[in-house]
Every structure is written in C-alpha cells, then in structure tokens.
Structure 1
Amino acid sequence: MNLFPSSIQRMEQALSTATLKQRVHADNIANVDTANYKSKQVNFQQVMEQASASRVKSYRTDARHLEFQSGQGASPVTVNHNTVMTPNGNNVDMDFEMAELAKNQLWYNAVTERINGKFSSLSSVINGGR
C-alpha cells in the first residue's frame, strides 16, 4: 500500500533536482577564478529520463516495439564547452550563474510550499479536519 500520493514523489524528485542544480551552480561560482575550470550544467532531459525510468517498469511484448531507455549510470551533470573562455581557460559566466541560482531558488521555494500544502492536507485528514 502506498501511503503518499504519486504527486508527493514527483515533488520529492523536483526537490532533489533543484538541490543538484544548486550544488552545480555553487561549484561554478566557487571556481570562477580557477584556471582551466569548465562550468557545468544539469541536463534537465537526462534528469527526466532517469526519473521516468525509475518509475516505469516495462517490458516489450513485441520485437517491433521501442525499448525503454533506462538512463542509468549516466550523470545528468555535463561540462559546458559552448561558452567564451577567459584568458586563463575558465568559462564561468558569473551573471548567468547568479541568475540561474536565483531561478532555482524560486523553483525550490515553490515546490517546498506545494509539498507543505500536501502534507498539511494529509495532516488535516488524519486529524479529522481539526
């Protein structure tokens, strides 16, 4: 029996992704002056594939059907090679990183508020509406 609705599990995955993005952007900012450091980013598509692969258990019933991609083992964090390098070989754009950090913080706060609302609703049901 699953005690919590699947929406709570999806929000948990969203919080985990936001935490990963926070860590990656913080690492980029911390290494802004490190020679030859290449900025990293979180590949959202890879995160979604891993989340759906862990949730969907399937098998092919016909050889003509497409196989599900597992996405296991591959890291959703990729090195960014598409930006301008500074003379010391570093490609961290501080303005971009700070903007992404702020966007990620807003996303994290919104998901946290939503999950708090879900738990508040569950608490209300458990306590008989009191």
Structure 2
Amino acid sequence: MSDLFWFEYARYYFQIDYLLSNNDLDMYVIGASGSAYPVELKSKKAADSQTLGKWFGIDMGPFAKLAFFTANGMNTDALYIVEELGDNNQFIQWLAIRYTELVKVCSWVGQSGGTGMTGGTSSTYKVPKAAFLPLIDLLPLL
C-alpha cells in the first residue's frame, strides 16, 4: 500500500508545478522553459561494482523508448527518474538524469537484469549513480 502512496505522491508533486500527462511512458513533464520531457520513473536499489562504483540499471526497452523521443528531430530530451531505495526498501532519495547525459555515461554493454514484467529476464545498461542529480536540483533546470 505504501508503494502506491509514494507513486501517487510523486505524480501529485509533478502536477502541482508542471503540466504532465500519462501514456506508454510514465509521464511527460513540461518544464518552465516550455519544453516537454518524456519521463521514465523507476524504484531501484543501487548496485555496486568495483570498476563502476554504485550504479542503477535501465532496461533496454525504456532506453529505446527514450531514444526515440530524443531522436525525433524536435530537439527534445527525456528524463530517467529513480526513487532510490535502501536494503529494506525504505525511501532514500529521488534522483534524475537527462537522457542526453545518460547516453554519455552508461555502460553500452547490456547485461542480464532482473525479472521483467512478463516473467523473463531483462537486459540492462548500467548508469553510474554519480551521474544523477537530486531531482529537486534538476527540475528547475528544465
């Protein structure tokens, strides 16, 4: 029940200050600049790697959807927003990265991820946690 509350709370937070609507992606945000940003919103625990440090994964499906929106010739960008969770699934913080920054820092080598929505395994790209900004710091830049 608390998971649903926090997801709806996040949606409410965006609706107060930003115009948004739902579709196949989690939402769109219209920034103060008037630019539209498709959003992929996930709850994740940071993984750790000796070579990369702490990182989050982005599944190849959402990665491709965000690529479509940024490659459409309309000078758009997209956002990947992560609700970071601790070991006991407790909320830690909201983090975000623009897709045009994500593609510069992601691993570009897919690896097997967790179980997908259809029950099979997913393929994931690693994105260093250090590349994310706190969501509260990124939103005013839109």
Give the TM-score normalised by the residue count of structure 1. Answer: 0.29
Higher-Rg structure is 1
| Bigger relative CO (Cα 8 Å, ≥ 6 apart) | 1
- The structure in which a higher percent of residues are strand is 2
Give the TM-score normalised by the residue count of structure 2. Answer: 0.27
